């Protein structure tokens, strides 16, 4: 056996003995037409706190600094999202504190619910 094979075997044995997992836990995932997407979280209608950072009327997009979006498996960050209803663009202004529900709609992360806090 060559040295690389022996080192690999030793590493794997040590990792297994210490409880390190080599595969991601995929229990919360569902398969849909060969693509992976997060399974709906319990409390499917949960909304997340966010702050409106920018509104792009020409592309129907709202940039949000948001908390974790558990239902789509996204950590807290700042990101632009498509607005499902164009009227949402007129309901808020930059700096507004809001609660949002983001879902994957036809492959695009989309704000489906929006309410000022």
pLDDT in tens, 66-107: 999 999 999 999 999 999 999 999 999 999 999 999 999 999
β-strand partners of 101: 113
Predicted local confidence at residue 3, as pLDDT: 61
What pTM does this model have? 0.63
DSSP 57: G
Q: How far apart are the first and last CA of the chain?
A: 65
Task: State pLDDT tens for residues 2-22.
Answer: 665 565 555 555 554 545 444
Domains of the chain as residue ranges with CATH: 46-116 (2.40.50.320)
Q: How far is CA 66 from CA 7, 56, 96, 99, 117, in A?
A: 44, 17, 12, 9, 13
């Amino acid at each position: 056996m060559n040295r690389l094979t022996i080192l690999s075997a030793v590493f794997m044995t040590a990792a297994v003995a210490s409880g390190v997992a080599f595969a991601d836990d995929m229990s919360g995932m569902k398969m849909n037409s060969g693509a992976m997407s997060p399974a709906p979280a319990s409390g499917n209608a949960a909304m997340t706190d966010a702050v409106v950072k920018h509104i792009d009327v020409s592309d129907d997009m709202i940039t949000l600094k948001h908390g974790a979006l558990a239902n789509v498996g996204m950590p807290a960050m700042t990101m632009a999202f498509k607005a499902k209803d164009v009227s949402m663009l007129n309901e808020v202004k930059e700096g507004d504190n809001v609660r949002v529900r983001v879902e994957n709609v036809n492959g695009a992360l989309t704000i489906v619910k929006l309410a000022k806090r």
